[in-house]
Amino acid sequence: MTNRFDQFRTFLKATTGVALESDQWQAAEQRLAPVAGRLGLSIDDLIDRFLRHSDPRLSAAVVDTMMTNETFFFRDRKPFELFREVILPRLLERKGEERRLRIWSAACATGQEPYSLAMVLDEEAHRFKDWTIEIVASDISASALETARGGLYNQFEVQRGLPVALLLRHFQRDLEKWRITERLRAQVQFQQVNLIDDFSRFGPFDVIFCRNVLMYFDQATRKTVLNRLARTLTPDGILMLGATEFTPGDCAFAALPESPALLRLRKSKSEAPASRLATA
Ligand SMILES: C[S@@+](CC[C@H](N)C(=O)[O-])C[C@H]1O[C@@H](n2cnc3c(N)ncnc32)[C@H](O)[C@@H]1O
């Protein structure tokens, strides 16, 4: 199976960016087994068909199962404080004439990140009267996006990181679960976007949250995606990475003083690039 697994991980990396280690076969097998079972195939046959890419639904199911969709509301808290206290005041000042903001949650998983951003914006709405604010949220995973669009979360999910006041304000009980209000849901547009593909048509954005996804890519892919994100940002735009994500030494970004995970475009080639491990 080793040879087959090598082919599988090479293909997965080429199509999604997600780089598996050579010793992760068992973990991969555990994820693939239920998909193979549902389709009445052996894992070998499933991989075969995935490699041939002859059945888009099968390929999507394999990609979905190989993704790690771990997320929660206000994950790591600090990025959302920085959004409120650093990013929004900066954009309020710099975009005061245009009165338009575009925000992108670039690997949104099941939606908790963009909805958290929408909740912060709702609290800050008095400062953005007459502004047009768009929140675009995307992911490669069709099933994660379906959950995100539905905005329906269980008790455990709403207990992770979400203050009770915001739960009561932005959710309604739906049997055993909680559903995001129509008003908040309408503020986020969900789309399927693969960060490995050309995504320039989505830009430009003033703020990009691209958190906890580059860590699944190898260094070369990370660099390619970061450079593309740089081209998708407005000149004053801000990119927020995850708390433990690296930026390659010669990237297009410089860190803001408030956090090494908070990046803006470098003004000139002589300016020092952000090249540290972000530890926000
Ligand atoms: C760990 S979650 C991060 C969710 C959220 N950003 C957070 O920090 O809580 C990683 C997400 O990246 C998505 N992903 C992985 N590879 C991707 C790609 N090539 N393009 C778009 N999304 C991808 C996965 O489907 C998954 O939902």
Residue-level pLDDT at 279: 34
Confidence band for 2, pLDDT divided at 50, 70 and 90: low
Best residue among 213, 240, 244 to mutate for probing ligand 1, ranked by most atoms within 8 Å of CB: 213
Residue-level pLDDT at 12: 97
Atom of ligand 1 lying closest to residue 196 CA: 19
Mean pLDDT value across residues 147-170: 97
Instruction: List the one residue out of 116, 253, 105, 114 whose CA is nearest residue 193.
Output: 105
Residue-level pLDDT at 245: 83
Residue-level pLDDT at 23: 92
Measure the CA–CA gap between 268 and 156, rounded to whole angstroms. 46
Residue-level pLDDT at 277: 42
Helix axes 56-66, 25-39, angle to 10 degrees: 140
Measure the CA–CA gap between 178 and 207, rounded to whole angstroms. 28
**Domain range annotation of the chain:** 2-66, 78-265
Interval 13-59: pLDDT, tens: 999 999 999 999 999 999 999 999 999 999 999 999 999 988 999 99
Interval 84-109: pLDDT, tens: 999 999 999 999 999 999 999 999 99
Residue-level pLDDT at 243: 85
CATH code given to domain 78-265? 3.40.50.150
Measure the CA–CA gap between 168 and 138, rounded to whole angstroms. 26
How many Å lie between the centroid of ligand 1 and the Cα of residue 141? 8
Contact 225, 200 (CB under 8 A): no
Computed over every residue of the chain, the mean pLDDT equals 93
Contact 102, 205 (CB under 8 A): yes
17-21, 23-27, 237-241, 271-275: least confident range: 271-275
Higher-confidence residue: 249 or 255? Answer: 255
Contact 107, 210 (CB under 8 A): yes
Contact 73, 161 (CB under 8 A): yes
How many Å lie between the centroid of ligand 1 and the Cα of residue 108? 6
Residue-level pLDDT at 246: 67
CATH code given to domain 2-66? 1.10.155
Does the pLDDT of residue 190 top 90, yes or no? yes
Contact 142, 56 (CB under 8 A): no
Confidence band for 278, pLDDT divided at 50, 70 and 90: very low
